[in-house]
Structure 1
Amino acid sequence: MRRTFAPWADPQAKPLIRVDNVTKRFGDAVAVDHLTLDIFEGEFFCLLGPSGCGKTTLMRMLAGFEYPTEGVITLAGQSLEGVPPYRRPVNMMFQSYALFPHMSVEKNIAFGLKQDGLPKPEIADRVGEMLRLVQLEKLAKRYPSQLSGGQRQRVALARALAKRPKVLLLDEPLGALDKKLREETQFELMDIQHELGMTFVVVTHDQEEAMTMADRIAVMDHGRIVQVADPGEIYEQPKTRFIAEFVGDVNILEGHVMGQENGLWRVKTASAETPLTIDDPDEVLHSGQAVAIAVRPEKMTIQREKPGPEAVNVLTGEVWDIGYLGDWTVYRIKLATGEILRVSRANVSRFVESPIDWDEQVYVTFEPGAAVILAE
């Protein structure tokens, strides 16, 4: 289902949320700068970017805690201008969870429903449904102080979902969890979102979190959206150097375009003895243009033996550092120019005969299609 979900690719599909040329200023500071964005019903959408890029401000405008200085935000075709938070079909799960310490789990979940004046039987049914959804039935009578961080996170999620909003906003929802629990919860959130068919909008600065959960990611920088795409495209085809460096690890090689040969770009760089050969048909370049070549560490190979004369994209260096990560080993290779490359090798075998060691001279290669040319 997730693989076939792509309403943004349908020109007839209407977005659930439309952010139209929105700007938000705080005095002289511009937090969100003429931003336009569409989010579709049933989408797990992620706003990704460094601290201060404007992603949380945009989410607060969706929630109604802030209002645009300029521009319009619409939800299901209705303008949200002047609509207070409690009148919007939107709920927000805060990073701190904001649970009531004097209320039990079930009373925390029921709080918003009671405020809305729902009948007691319906409240009981809805609370029971949410407890089952987040697998906390046995902890219904406990108080927040008696729960682990992961359990408190589930209570906050259940409370936010209980009112059945059209859109659930999640502000750094997994930031307080340890790494292992955070990874497990990512998949649980995906399952819950898919089961409910609800629209989730999550704010995070964690690239791995965004790549795992989102149908699409909007990468933000200085109040603007730099690229909106699915995780695979963001990682494999970044539009700018900022995105390539922010999302995942990457090696950047500076050079100048020499021209094309057999449909492949030839790029002269000080990092290699011979020009690099790059297969990137999407780029329109001219001879002499300064460019950056982006190559992910796992797309490079490392070996002791000098490659044959038919090999392309060969760089020579010395092993500077080695990091063993269990499933991967990361090599930091120092080139003659002083540049440091990161090369990742999967540990597919428990034992490796004569492994590459510190201070060895090695050769690093990559295929023409493994790199992306960044003109910006």
Structure 2
Amino acid sequence: MTSLGSTRRSFAPWADPSAQPYIHLEGVTKRFGDFTAVDTLSLTIYEREFFALLGASGCGKTTLLRMLGGFEQPSSGRILLDGQDMQGIPPYRRPVNMMFQSYALFPHMSVEANIAFGLKQDGMAKAQIAERVAQMLKLVKLERFAKRKPQQLSGGQRQRVALARSLAKRPKVLLLDEPLGALDKKLREETQFELMDLQHDLGLTFVVVTHDQEEAMTMADRIAVMDRGQVLQVATPAEIYEAPTSRFVADFVGSINMFEGTLHDDGGRLAINDGNGSAFRIEDAGGAAVGETVWLAVRPEKVRVSRARPEADNALEGEIWDIAYLGDMTVYNVKLDDGRIVKASTVNSTRRLDDALTWHDRAWIAFAADAGVVLKR
């Protein structure tokens, strides 16, 4: 049997020129009066893909999800689903279902009645409804809670009831609006993997809205980072993290150190002169030209911190300004002599605590020439 991990690694229809997108948004705009929530947005999502719309509150991601579900109509542009234009087609006639952030369960109904509600509305026979509800209860592991009311369940169990109800009608596309937002951290992490397994087993297309970068990175095959109604980058989690195309994406997804400067040729090697006496050597200019203003983005885990000056392409001295011990890693904020703060993270791979760097110690930070990515915008 193929493991989920290897399946996800090999799943990449967006890299196949012959693959046809299952969901296609063409120049979609949504205005509410003078406010533009979604601005001339184009996007493709493939069948069986777990796709995440990631962004801060107000960036337009939920509005986009509601347009996919038919709860809002675009002001302009087209939404195609499996080649069919969705203009004017109401939610109940679309092969999609939406799981709302609030779960929207009926408090007076039992778990099984909540799951059965949509099936009854569709006029399904009682025997078929009973069979489908039993399947859904087994799928989300809630067989023992079938007769309970929502208020008798935990947050995680209510989330599973909402998920089961959304899946009961067997939609081709499931839309999830911040589906794990009400769960505590540990349960949220467990449920992320459950959702991934469920999506793979059912062979459905999932489109999830979230502001949680870690959640998107964990679950999604691809992520669309949104800001002010526009998509800034669409890529796999690894590409979003390691190869952001803008300062906004680099800063929004994970922690980042950003060094601004001018690109120049330093005796045959590329470097970025930051105007403070430092020249950062780099391997790849990211398409920038010599003399152009650029930003070097370096992740904290790519930065080493030590007492002694290291042998490295880029090394700067400073003072330990802040320390965050997180158990599995320690994060250091090092204040350079010019006042800038550089963040470095170190994995705590041993239990040794002797000679650890502490507040106000002098220290060096260092990173390799290929550790960062050069950004032009």
TM-score by length of 1: 0.97
Which residue of the partner structure matches residue 260 of structure 2?
254
1:274-293 → structure 2 map (5 Å cutoff): 274-280=278-284, 283-293=286-296
Percent identity over the alignment?
62
Partners in 1 of 2:320 and 2:261 — Cα distance? Answer: 23
How far, CA to CA, are the matches of 1:4 and 1:316 in structure 2? Answer: 43
Candidates 305, 310, 335, aligned match of 1:307: 310
- Give CA-to-partner distance per residue, 1:260-297, whole Å, 9 cap, x none: 665x52111246x541111225x122222111110000
Letter matched to residue 309 of structure 2: K
Query: 2:213, 2:265 → 1: CA distance?
Result: 34
Q: Which residue number in structure 1 is paired with residue 27 of structure 2?
A: 21
Q: Deviation string for 1:280-333 (max 9, x for gaps)?
A: 25x12222211111000011100001124xx21101110001110000101011
The answer to whether structure 1 residue 42 and structure 2 residue 48 are counterparts is: yes
Give 1:101-112 correspondences, 5 Å limit. 101-112=107-118
Matches within 5 A, 1:132-281: 132-259=138-265, 264-270=269-275, 273-280=277-284
Give, in whole Å, the separation in 2 of the partners of 1:338 and 1:270: 13
Please report how far the alpha carbon of residue 119 of structure 1 lies from its aligned counterpart in structure 2 after TM superposition: 1.1
Amino acid aligned to 2:94: R
Distance 1:24 1:227 in 2: 20
Identify the residue that residue 86 of structure 1 maps to in structure 2: 92
Give me the whole-angstrom Cα distance separating, in 2, the residues matched to 1:3 and 1:306.
40
Letter aligned with residue 279 of structure 2: P
Kept in 2: contact 1:259–1:286 (CA 8 A):
no
What displacement does 1:259 show?
A: 2.3
The alpha-carbon deviation at position 28 of structure 1 amounts to 1.2
Q: CA distance change for structure 1 residues 285 and 261 in 2, over 3 Å: closer, same or farther?
A: farther
Shift, 1:144, TM fit = 0.3
Change (3 A) 1:161 1:356: same
Deviations 1:47-88 (A, max 9, x none): 001111111111010011110111110111111000011111
1:318 matched residue in structure 2: 319
Aligned to 1:373: 374
Taking the aligned partners of 1:372 and 1:260, their CA distance within structure 2 comes to 18
Residue 46 of structure 1: SS of its match in structure 2? Answer: strand
CA distance in 1, matches of 2:170, 2:270: 52
Q: Does the residue aligned with 2:8 lie in a helix, a strand or coil?
A: coil
For 2:82 and 2:373, how far apart are their aligned partners in 1? 38
Residue of structure 1 equivalent to 2:120: 114
Task: Answer yes or no: is the 8 Å Cα contact 1:270–1:337 preserved in 2.
Answer: no
CA distance in 1, matches of 2:122, 2:267: 68
Given that residues 317 and 335 in structure 1 are in contact (C-alpha distance below 8 angstroms), is that contact kept between their aligned partners in structure 2? yes
Q: CA deviation at 1:160?
A: 0.2
Q: Secondary structure at 1:96's aligned position in 2?
A: coil
In the TM superposition, what is the alpha-carbon distance from 1:197 to its structure 2 partner?
A: 0.5
Whichever residue aligns with residue 172 of structure 2, its letter is: K
In the alignment, the residues of structure 2 paired with residue 4 and residue 337 of structure 1 have an alpha-carbon distance, to the nearest angstrom, of 47
Stretch moving more, 286-295 or 33-42: 286-295
CA distance in 2, matches of 1:249, 1:39: 28
Deviations 1:96-147 (A, max 9, x none): 0000011111111111111111111111111111111111111111110100
C-alpha distance in structure 1 between counterparts of 2:266 and 2:52, whole Å: 37
Number of residue-to-residue matches in the alignment: 371
Q: Aligned equivalents of 1:89 and 1:113: distance in 2?
A: 14
Distance of 2:292 and 2:356 partners within structure 1? 40
Secondary structure of the residue aligned to 1:345 is: strand
Question: Which position in structure 1 is the counterpart of 2:4?
Answer: none
